[in-house]
Structure 1
Amino acid sequence: MTTSRSRWLGLVCISVAVALIIVDSTIVNVAIPSIVDDLGITSTQVQWVQESYTLVFAALLLVFGALADRLGRRRMLLIGVTIFSLASVLAALAPTGDLLIGARVIQGVGGAMILPTTLSIINATFRGKDRGIAFAVWGSTIGGMAAVGPLLGGWLTTAFSWRWAFGINVPLGALIVVGLLVFVAESRDADARDGIDVVGALLAVLTTGAFVFGLIEGRTYGWWTATEDVLAWWPLDLSPVPIAFGVALVAGIAFVRWGLRRERAGRSTMLAFGLLRIPSFRNGNVAAMIVSLGEFGIILSLPLWLQGVLGYDALQTGLVILALAVGSFVASGAAGAFGSRATPVGIVRAGLVAEVVGLLAVALAIQPDSAWYAIVPGLFVYGFGVGLATAQLTNVVLQDVPVQQSGQGSGTQSTARQIGSALGIAVLGTILFTSVGGILDARLEARDVPSAAREQIVDVVVDSSGTAISALEAQDADAADDARVAFSDGTRFAAFAAAGFVSLGLLATLRLASRRDDDDAATDAAAPREAPAA
């Protein structure tokens, strides 16, 4: 029998497992310049070092969430942490860019096993008020670690080597494995139907993978017509991006039709389509996807602005963004304190309001000559909102999902969030760099800079994501000033857009019914029981 104390110690292990994958994804962004210098990788390889992980991770979430219900949730989490740690060793020792990309792909497999499984274990282990607190800790870990990652990455890269940005995962992984074995009980769906839906799994991977690929690569490869760089290896004028979206659409339709036919026949499916008939699950996933369009959007653009415009190094940038982590961790305590007096949906809405206020404050503070202390208050408020909203929205999505289907439910909501995040990164990245290019070109033209020179300056600033501004200073101080103004304006527009997306997510939560955790005691008592611990 799992004791109350061991449940909470198990939650610590689960939270550290989530922190492992979140920190890793943010650390890499800070370490990229050092990786380029050491391995001499190309700009295309730089993209794939960052994006291969995201692509594989998003494509496999639904599959591993469903498999965890059948094979055992703790078992799946242990396998995921082990794969992620071993892949981190490969990444830390990689002598070439191609091998590093391969290691990142394997990390994506491990990460996809970890995230939905942590959610389903929490959903299966905690009930009532305790579940709200547990999800608050889980959500605050995600929000906080997204901000701690750049700080840790900046320190490891500056003081040691970029290889330690991956090597740090190994001792953490070992601690997580020991903690899971000692404090987390095994659980699985005792009523799972025989067999695994292999065709459904392949269609799910193809659907999600093709869709996320299109979202990630649209700005690089061209949303419709292939860019000049792509034409060097791509035989068509049509970009591969609309083709990927077409594949995702066809595979998605096939996935739904195949799953519904198997469900009618009483056979196992990757997605329990009956879950979509649950209003809280259906509407909650829609809200989660929209919210994810804006959440963490500031993490995309703000580090580039801090380093490119204000001249901060990686460690200083991490220290500024740490305010987001502090706000998120404070929210964890606040959610526990107010959990008995507010509904989960109410906490979600309060968190989203705080996110919008924080993003607007950050946007208004962004100027070419801003000081760090002008940014920090808005980041703190934004982080506080993320800590409240992320966890409790997950709680709302899963509150009516039968325990034996926790993995499928968790995988579905994680996939919805990842698709929303990928779409948000694509949209906010396009807003940022399109604004920077347009504003910089207009300012240079106003100073009568020749067309050829304007194009060259704009390309250098945009392609370098702002890192070339300091070098531009030595050649043309006026052009560097124009670039700082343009990059500040673009970053501000991206922050306003992120606030807009979160506001839409807030409106989407109006379709979610408010209900206190105290009121689901009867539902919890009647919930189907788990299989005995293995």
Structure 2
Amino acid sequence: MEGESILLSMLSDSPATPGTPSASASRRRWLGLVIISLGVSLIIVDSTIVNVAVPSIIDDLGITSSQAQWVQEVYTLVFASLLLVCGRLADRSGRRRLFALGALIFALASVLAALADSGASLIAARAVQGVGGALMLPTSLSLLNATFRGRDRGIAFGIWGATIGGTAALGPLLGGWLTTAFSWRWAFGINIPLSAVVIIGLFLLVDESRDPSAARGVDWRGAILSTIGFGALVFGLIEGRTYGWLTSTDTLLSIGGWTWPWTLSPVPVAFVVGGAGLTIFVLVQRVRNAAGRVSMLDLDLFTIPSFRNGNIAAAIVSLGEFGLLFALPLWFQNVRGYSAFQTGVVLLALATGSFLASGLGAAIGRTRSPIFLVRLGIVLEIVGIAGIALLLRADSAWFVTAPLLFVYGIGVGFATAQLTGVVLADVPVERSGQGSGTQSTARQIGSAFGIAVLGTVLFSVLGARFDASLADAGVPEQTRTQLVTAVKDSAGAVIPALAADPSTATIAEDAQQALTDATRVSAATASGFLVVGLLASLSLGERRRRVD
């Protein structure tokens, strides 16, 4: 007995049991997570921060509305099309190395954007930023998947998810403040010192990891096909309302000095190219998988139920998750008359809820499974969005929407983080890059599709309700058409000017009511998507809680 007591004493005095990190190593891992989360926050904020800076950019650079649109959308297009390629490249070349390279490219592109003297140079810089972002997002997930295990993994993904949800809402606030207090150029300039912190922190606090088998070759054909396929698909989704879903609108696609010459819209052509590219991509991957050759995507990953069903659920949930951030800022600014900064302050409730979810998720995760948290998060998202659909009025004050946004933010923090963890839970560590790239791509495709649908719903209802109100008021058809077109084409931006003119104040009230109705219908549609996502989460089953 005495010998047994001595042995137990020795074990308890040892710094760590086998497989358990020491206190200093554990502290280093969590500090590394902070650095990774900071890098992720940069790329997420930059997808929304420009939205509020566009009017100042137009005034300063004298760019056209078409160029302004590409300043906003080229980042998303390049970013989404390269996610799968960059995830696989991280497996081969080293995940920390690729994340650092992405941060460096992102920083250099931010310098070019901040110094841009024309629309063309700014668009080119935004495209390069998309490359940097694509190198960072899937790599961040694979780094977490390779670094954390057991309950710590759930906490790490919770912080990652809170970063995604919270910084998406912080973008308009930060952009509004920097643009108003300084210059739109600081919306890009702020990335430079923060990227430097990320790069230095990575090499000090994050260990390198890679897939040893990935060094055997490169699947260039798969890389090209996946980039073309996903790029064309995302282009069609985000540009459908602009260029027309079937026939071309008055706005024509123009690249350099070339303009789309046909009456058939480029959008259905993009869908055909995307569908064909992805079909050939899958066929090529099947052949390479069967031959045992290195491939861009190991299709055996889809035999893992949690990975396959989790990606389907993630894509569906993403349809409704961030569509609200497209419609609500328009309502706040054009109906309630808030400035860009005031709008960002209200959306801070969403960010606060999302950040709070990381701590709550860790506490709840001690007794409940990740899938429970996923479903709880989706339910809270539905409550928040459905509440806005039911309660929003043209004269609603901020204290009506802020609590609902807070609840919605908690839901985003739960669902985004834990669903990501479920998708990657059974993916072998050496294939984390492929798994992360696939998961990120599924979310981006779902988000693009959701914004396309919700944008179409928003502007269709806006036009129909406003036209009906003007018709009831006896406004002549030609004038009615001009007013409806002006309100729709400006996304409601002309409403404050109509309200300021006493002769059109009544018309402005009709437009405000129409935009309110359209926002409510859009929110109801988003909540419907989330209900489908909740049903899709049932295919994930129920995983027993695992404790290391």
Give the TM-score category using the shorter length: over 0.9
> Residues 38-49 of structure 1: matches in 2 within 5 Å?
38-49=60-71
Selected match of 1:109 from 128, 131, 134: 131
Q: How far 1:249 sits from its partner (Å)? A: 1.2
Q: How far 1:272 sits from its partner (Å)? A: 1.0
CA distance in 1, matches of 2:260, 2:207: 50
Which residue of structure 2 lines up, in the alignment, with residue 424 of structure 1? 450
CA distance in 2, matches of 1:234, 1:181: 47
Q: How far 1:193 sits from its partner (Å)? A: 5.1
Work out whether residues 82 and 110 of structure 1, in 8 Å CA contact, stay in contact via their aligned partners in 2. Answer: yes
Which residue of structure 2 lines up, in the alignment, with residue 390 of structure 1? 416
Q: How far 1:130 sits from its partner (Å)? A: 0.4
Secondary structure at 2:214's aligned position in 1? coil
Work out whether residues 38 and 198 of structure 2, in 8 Å CA contact, stay in contact via their aligned partners in 1. Answer: yes
Q: How far 1:516 sits from its partner (Å)? A: 3.1
Which residue of structure 2 lines up, in the alignment, with residue 493 of structure 1? 521
Which residue of structure 2 lines up, in the alignment, with residue 464 of structure 1? 490
Work out whether residues 243 and 253 of structure 2, in 8 Å CA contact, stay in contact via their aligned partners in 1. Answer: no
C-alpha spacing 1:36/1:353, structure 2 compared with 1 (3 Å): same
Which residue of structure 2 lines up, in the alignment, with residue 176 of structure 1? 198
Q: How far 1:238 sits from its partner (Å)? A: 1.3
CA distance in 1, matches of 2:112, 2:36: 24
CA distance in 1, matches of 2:390, 2:338: 20
Q: How far 1:350 sits from its partner (Å)? A: 0.2
CA distance in 1, matches of 2:117, 2:68: 15
> Residues 196-207 of structure 1: matches in 2 within 5 Å?
196-207=218-229
Q: How far 1:256 sits from its partner (Å)? A: 0.7
Secondary structure at 1:467's aligned position in 2? coil
Selected match of 1:324 from 350, 365, 372: 350
Which residue of structure 2 lines up, in the alignment, with residue 119 of structure 1? 141
CA distance in 2, matches of 1:98, 1:234: 18
Q: How far 1:31 sits from its partner (Å)? A: 0.7
Is 1:312 aligned with 2:338? Answer: yes
- Please list the CA deviations of residues 345-392 of structure 1 after superposition, one character each: whole Å capped at 9, or x if unmatched: 000000000000011112223211111111101000000000000000
CA distance in 2, matches of 1:128, 1:118: 18
Work out whether residues 193 and 267 of structure 1, in 8 Å CA contact, stay in contact via their aligned partners in 2. Answer: no
Secondary structure at 2:152's aligned position in 1? helix
CA distance in 2, matches of 1:96, 1:182: 38
- More off after superposition, 89-98 vs 187-196: 187-196
Which residue of structure 1 lines up, in the alignment, with residue 163 of structure 2? 141
Q: Which amino acid aligns with 2:70?
A: W
Which structure 1 segments of 5+ residues have no match? Answer: 522-534
> Residues 46-85 of structure 1: matches in 2 within 5 Å?
46-85=68-107
- Please list the CA deviations of residues 441-461 of structure 1 after superposition, one character each: whole Å capped at 9, or x if unmatched: 010011110111111111111
CA distance in 2, matches of 1:350, 1:359: 14
Work out whether residues 344 and 516 of structure 1, in 8 Å CA contact, stay in contact via their aligned partners in 2. Answer: no
Q: Which amino acid aligns with 2:437?
A: G
Work out whether residues 298 and 495 of structure 1, in 8 Å CA contact, stay in contact via their aligned partners in 2. Answer: yes
Selected match of 1:8 from 30, 43, 53: 30
Is 1:515 aligned with 2:543? Answer: yes
CA distance in 2, matches of 1:517, 1:201: 37
CA distance in 1, matches of 2:462, 2:280: 41
Selected match of 2:530 from 502, 507, 519: 502
- Please list the CA deviations of residues 192-248 of structure 1 after superposition, one character each: whole Å capped at 9, or x if unmatched: 251110000000000000000010111111111111332893222211111111111
Aligned CA RMSD, in angstroms, stands at: 1.2
Q: Which amino acid aligns with 1:250?
A: A
Which residue of structure 2 lines up, in the alignment, with residue 449 of structure 1? 475
- More off after superposition, 471-480 vs 224-233: 224-233
Q: How far 1:58 sits from its partner (Å)? A: 0.3
Q: How far 1:109 sits from its partner (Å)? A: 0.2
Q: Which amino acid aligns with 1:86?
A: L
Which residue of structure 2 lines up, in the alignment, with residue 362 of structure 1? 388
Q: Which amino acid aligns with 2:196?
A: A
- Please list the CA deviations of residues 456-478 of structure 1 after superposition, one character each: whole Å capped at 9, or x if unmatched: 11111111111110111214111
- More off after superposition, 501-510 vs 471-480: 471-480
Q: How far 1:38 sits from its partner (Å)? A: 1.0
Q: Which amino acid aligns with 2:485?
A: D
Which structure 2 segments of 5+ residues have no match? Answer: 1-20
Which residue of structure 1 lines up, in the alignment, with residue 12 of structure 2? none
Selected match of 1:221 from 215, 230, 243: 243
Q: Which amino acid aligns with 1:32?
A: V
Work out whether residues 97 and 208 of structure 2, in 8 Å CA contact, stay in contact via their aligned partners in 1. Answer: yes
Is 1:262 aligned with 2:288? Answer: yes
Q: Which amino acid aligns with 2:140?
A: T
Larger radius of gyration: 2
Q: Which amino acid aligns with 2:261?
A: P
- Please list the CA deviations of residues 257-289 of structure 1 after superposition, one character each: whole Å capped at 9, or x if unmatched: 111111111111111111011010000000000
CA distance in 2, matches of 1:109, 1:435: 36
Which residue of structure 2 lines up, in the alignment, with residue 194 of structure 1? 216
Work out whether residues 231 and 237 of structure 1, in 8 Å CA contact, stay in contact via their aligned partners in 2. Answer: no
Tell me the number of residue pairs that the alignment of Structure 1 and Structure 2 aligns.
520
Q: How far 1:340 sits from its partner (Å)? A: 1.5
Which residue of structure 1 lines up, in the alignment, with residue 43 of structure 2? 21
Work out whether residues 368 and 545 of structure 2, in 8 Å CA contact, stay in contact via their aligned partners in 1. Answer: no
Runs of 4+ in 1 over 3 A off after TM superposition: none
Secondary structure at 1:518's aligned position in 2? coil
CA distance in 2, matches of 1:84, 1:38: 23
Which residue of structure 1 lines up, in the alignment, with residue 367 of structure 2? 341
Secondary structure at 2:342's aligned position in 1? helix
CA distance in 2, matches of 1:149, 1:251: 33
Work out whether residues 308 and 466 of structure 1, in 8 Å CA contact, stay in contact via their aligned partners in 2. Answer: yes
